[in-house]
Amino acid sequence: MERRRVNGRVSHTSRTVARRLFWPSVVVVVTAVFGTIPKLVSTWFYQRGDTAVQFAPTWFHLGELTRDGVFPAWMDPGGWAGGNYAAEALFGIYDPLNVPVWLAMSAGSDLMTTTFLVKLVFLVLLALGTYLLCREYDAQGWAAASVAVALPFCGFTLFWDAGSWASGLIAFSYTPWVWYVLRRVLRGTANPFWGFVVGALAVTQGNPYGVLALVVVGLALLVEGLLDGNRVGVLKVIGVGGCAALLLPLVFLPLLQTSDLTVRSLGALINNTGKLQPVPGDFLQASNPTAVPPITAITGPMTVPATFLAWFVLPLLPWLRWGDLRGRLRPLTAPLLVSAAYLALVLAPSKLWMFRWPLRVTEYLFLALLVVFARLLSRGLATSHRRARVIGSAAAIAVPSYLAWADNPAALHRLAAGAGLVAVLTVLALVAARLGPLRSLALATVFIVGTGLSVTLQLKSFGENKSSRGWHTPSDVAAMKARFDDRTGTVVQFSDFKDLQHLKTLPQLTAKWQYFLPGSLYDVTDVQAVNHYTGMGLVRFQRTLCMSYDGFTKPCGYRSIFSPPQPSLPSLADLMKVETIVVGPRQAAAAKITPPPGWTEVTDNAQVQVYRRATPLPYPDSHLSFVPTGVTVSAAVSDDVRHEHVDLSSTADAGGQLVFAMLGWPGWHATLDGHPVTVGRDSAGLLTVTLPPGGVRGQLELTFTPPGLKVGLGAAGVALLGAIALGWFGRRRREDDTAAEEQAEEAPTPA
């Protein structure tokens, strides 16, 4: 290796730098190329499930809010059930890396294209982080690159996280980086402050699975450090973990203090429904790219290879040099412990508190297993006992394929294609292993090209993930805005197209989007719609409108909108200040009701009925919608999405309640001339402010701050100070060690 000394330090030449960058560059480029295959083969591949109707439009809206100076975006009352971003948590409103995502989405002209590019970036980050992690555990560059390219295309990550669950993909893409940096902190080769930075990203992303990974990996590294007798490193990791944990209140206190009012509060803490719950035998299919495990998925039976890991893992197990682990397990302590922990979680009940559907943690198990595999692969393939090893490889390919065929005989041709591809690739890998000096490059080529062929075969065989809900919604932003620009004011939509969300009815489903938009997609059109896709729906509100988490409704909701939530109040439409009502003819007929006087029908055809309010609403510049008898309002203004002020006077002896056209989430606070007044919610979930009895006069101010914000900010401040202190300590210690090494080098050699 060519080196030169500059200012007492070793400087590598450009050739050495090029060698170091070769395999990481391969990982980045190849992952980007392979990640494009699903998009080319199946247009809607990356726009399934939650991505299509929740993440893409909400990212777009968060980008617009950020451009308008609303940051952090705690709350948007106009989003109704979907506007409490602080309590939702999973949008990561405190994660700085999400801001470019939102800005890119809101600047893009096509939702589907921009979403694809965002997901491609995170697939590349996942692969590169996995490569660095494997190198940290002494895997050779070619072996690390081979497994790093494979991980983003394991079954669950590709078809579920990348296809549907964008938040899960981002959280998982952070994990190898968290692990890599924390281990370097443990070994003293990275400043603890950077450990805090990656830990903070994992926490502020808001996905509980990312936080779980931080805990599991951190504990495993502590055990690794204790076994090595590295007490200083253990203390650093504990310090970093403690600082990162101090960010949890900021991110998750709003969720915990709000969840009792939402649909999240329903159901047992521990439950077993069997949904997305693998069993040990399903992982026998980890190396057949076309084998589908018999798991219950979202829309029915699983239709994609969800437990696939990589084509080369099972067939090459007999050829690994297992004997090299004898007496050398200590350096692999953390990967083995992480594997054991996630294996237990994979086989756990289908719901553990906020963690549900164990299939979601298989990718974390796969990450740990691939680190061990890369380390073993770096030793080269064994050459002794070839006959027994060949039999072992053949069994590893044939037996799982037979079991998959026995479970689904109709899939014979598909399974044969997958098994045949793996068999050919295995033979090529064994041949490459005998090419002398070129074997490492040849093996990596077979592994990486084989991964690309596996992805191509899977897309050819399965296309989109039909186990996840399909939407095929419009994605041209300008066209959507033009199509729905006549829906003014607050809009509520009554429709339900779940029965069309199957492959054979996709054309009919797509046709509905000429008149309706599902989930949160109205956020892209500048239409202020009540309907949103959210896991944090306020139970009172959702039940009153008979609205499900995806924004679809039942006919009872259409009846409720024209009825008062209680006798002394106007209709719910008036209290919500609804100006436009969109209803499907089927729901309108089932509700057996027509809009009362004051509503004008502006569209009437076989597909949709649209009604518009004929008379103006009171207090047009404010969310205020109702004042009791005896209360006079001289001014009412929404200053921004988190603040209202109302100038009023009251002669009512009993006080009374004001009603606002927004939801009564915890976090809203009101003062009248600086004195606190009671904020609550009515039977429909709308925000109410109770005026004190007797005559009052003054300015009512209504402000939103997330529950627990003061505690969260205080803890975050302590975390930052602690991280800075740890960083200073780590830097001073490293400078002292470097100085000692240089003095030792400069000391004269004894004669």
* Separation CA 297–CA 559 (nearest Å): 34
pLDDT at 3 exceeding the cut of 50: no
At 356, the pLDDT band (50, 70, 90 cuts) reads: confident
What pLDDT does residue 273 have?
A: 81
Token pair listed for 89: 């948590």
For residue 159, what are the β-bridge partners? none
pLDDT at 751 exceeding the cut of 90: no
Over range 63-74, report the average pLDDT: 93
* Separation CA 69–CA 72 (nearest Å): 9
Over range 21-50, report the average pLDDT: 96
Place of tokens 């729905």: 484
What pLDDT does residue 8 have?
A: 46
127 and 151 Cβ atoms separated by less than 8 Å: yes
In percent, how much of the chain has pLDDT > 70? 94
| Residue 33 CB coordination number (10 Å) | 13
At 268, the pLDDT band (50, 70, 90 cuts) reads: low
What pLDDT does residue 4 have?
A: 47
Over range 78-99, report the average pLDDT: 93
User: Phi and psi at residue 350, in whole multiples of 5°?
Assistant: -70, -15
What pLDDT does residue 735 have?
A: 52
What pLDDT does residue 629 have?
A: 87
Over range 354-360, report the average pLDDT: 86
pLDDT at 748 exceeding the cut of 60: no
What pLDDT does residue 684 have?
A: 95
170 and 205 Cβ atoms separated by less than 8 Å: yes
What pLDDT does residue 114 have?
A: 97
* Separation CA 182–CA 540 (nearest Å): 44
What pLDDT does residue 354 have?
A: 75
Residue type, position 484, single letter: F
* Separation CA 427–CA 425 (nearest Å): 5
Mean pLDDT of all residues in the chain?
91
DSSP state of 6: E
At 264, the pLDDT band (50, 70, 90 cuts) reads: low
At 436, the pLDDT band (50, 70, 90 cuts) reads: confident
For residue 611, what are the β-bridge partners? 581, 601
What pLDDT does residue 383 have?
A: 84
What pLDDT does residue 267 have?
A: 61
Give 503-554 as a DSSP string. GGGHHHHHHHTTT---TTGGGGTT-EES----S--BHHHHHHTTB-TTS-B-
In percent, how much of the chain has pLDDT > 90? 80
Over range 36-63, report the average pLDDT: 95
Residue 511 CA to chain centroid, in angstroms? 29
User: Phi and psi at residue 528, in whole multiples of 5°?
Assistant: -90, 90
Place of tokens 């109707």: 53
What pLDDT does residue 6 have?
A: 47
Strand order in the sheet with 578-583: 528-529, 490-494, 578-583, 609-613, 599-604
Residue type, position 657, single letter: Q
Over range 129-137, report the average pLDDT: 97
pTM attached to this predicted model: 0.93
* Separation CA 427–CA 433 (nearest Å): 10
CA atoms within 13 A on the CB side of 531: 30
What pLDDT does residue 262 have?
A: 86
What pLDDT does residue 743 have?
A: 55
Residue 668 CA to chain centroid, in angstroms? 27
* Separation CA 622–CA 394 (nearest Å): 71
Residue type, position 417, single letter: A
What pLDDT does residue 60 have?
A: 97
At 435, the pLDDT band (50, 70, 90 cuts) reads: confident
